[in-house]
Amino acid sequence: MRSLAMKGTLSEMELSTFRQRSQAAIDQKAKRGELFTSIPIGYVRAPGNRIENDPDLRKLLPNSSDAGMRR
**pLDDT tens digits for 2-47?**
888 888 899 999 999 999 999 999 999 999 988 888 888 889 988 8
Eight-state DSSP code of residue 64? T
- Euclidean distance between CA atoms 36 and 50, whole angstroms: 11
pTM, to two decimals = 0.51
Domain ranges of the chain: 3-53
In whole angstroms, what separates CA 70 from the centre of its chain? 31
What pLDDT is recorded for position 58?
62
